[in-house]
Amino acid sequence: MRIALPMLLAAAVALLGEEPPGPSVASNGHGFGSRDSDEVVQARARALDVAGAFANDGYKLRDGYWSGLVTDKKPLFLEVSLFHGNQYWFTAAAASDNAALSLLAFDEEGIPLDGNIFRDEGVVAFGFEPPASGRYYLRLDLAGGNVAAFCLIYSYK
């Protein structure tokens, strides 16, 4: 039996009056095809649709992804390791159009980075060239709606 995770989580938040626990619950630990909810599957399909345009520009898509639930009260953060010389696009999508996502990148000191943004209904992509090889952080925010299932993928060249 599949339960719509956003409903379940929203109910849990309402009952407990607490914010959901950190990344270990909100995000997919492995990110390559675990048993995802329908919403995550849908979000991934939408992200792949957008990332297809980057593939036309020579970007290769990573096979894995980050997924879970994001709420409007708590941004989520993802650590990645990138290489200077490569160019990257990170694409995040929600299952529905009315979730306004925002995506930003930060260096290992937490300083925001310059880049390019693509935004559409329920989808956002951030592209940039890392100034140095090492750790970077992505911040995913939800503006429209209380909670949304999301999927983030990335491409590089």
Partner 1 sequence: MPLLPLAADPAIVPLTAEERTSAARVEAVTIPSPGEFFAAVSKTGRPDWAAVTRCPVNLSASARPQIAMNLGAMVADGYVAVENQDGQTVKNIGRDIMTLAKKLNVGESVIARGNSIADFAENNDWNALKEELEATQNEVKLTLIEQKDEDLVVLVSLGAWLRGLEVATNLTAKSYSEQTAALLRQPGVADYYVHAAGELPERVRDDPLMRSIRQRLAAIHSAVSQPVGHVFSAAQVESIGKIAAAAVREICEDPSPSPPAKQTRGDNPESAP
Which residues contribute to the site for partner 1 (CB under 8 A)? 22-24, 26-34, 50, 53, 60-66, 76-86, 104, 106-119, 126-127, 132-135, 137, 139, 152-154, 156-157
- Please identify, using beta-carbon distances, which residue of 14 and 56 lies nearer to partner 1: 56
- Please identify, using beta-carbon distances, which residue of 94 and 126 lies nearer to partner 1: 126
- Give the C-alpha separation, 74 to 51, whole Å: 26
- Please identify, using beta-carbon distances, which residue of 2 and 35 lies nearer to partner 1: 35
In the complex, the smallest distance separating the C-beta of residue 45 from partner 1, rounded to whole angstroms, is 17
- Please identify, using beta-carbon distances, which residue of 148 and 153 lies nearer to partner 1: 153
- Tokens (6 digits) for 100: 């306004």
In the complex, the smallest distance separating the C-beta of residue 101 from partner 1, rounded to whole angstroms, is 15
In the complex, the smallest distance separating the C-beta of residue 123 from partner 1, rounded to whole angstroms, is 11
- Please identify, using beta-carbon distances, which residue of 12 and 25 lies nearer to partner 1: 25
Of 67, 72, 126, 138, the residue nearest 99 (C-alpha): 72
In the complex, the smallest distance separating the C-beta of residue 85 from partner 1, rounded to whole angstroms, is 4
Tokens 């880049």 -> residue: 115
Sequence-separated (6 or more) residues with CB below 8 Å from residue 6: 39, 69, 147, 148, 149
In the complex, the smallest distance separating the C-beta of residue 93 from partner 1, rounded to whole angstroms, is 14
Read out DSSP for 42-101? HHHHHHHHHHHHHHTTTPEEPS--EEEEEETTB-EEEEEEE-BTB-EEEEEEESSTT--E
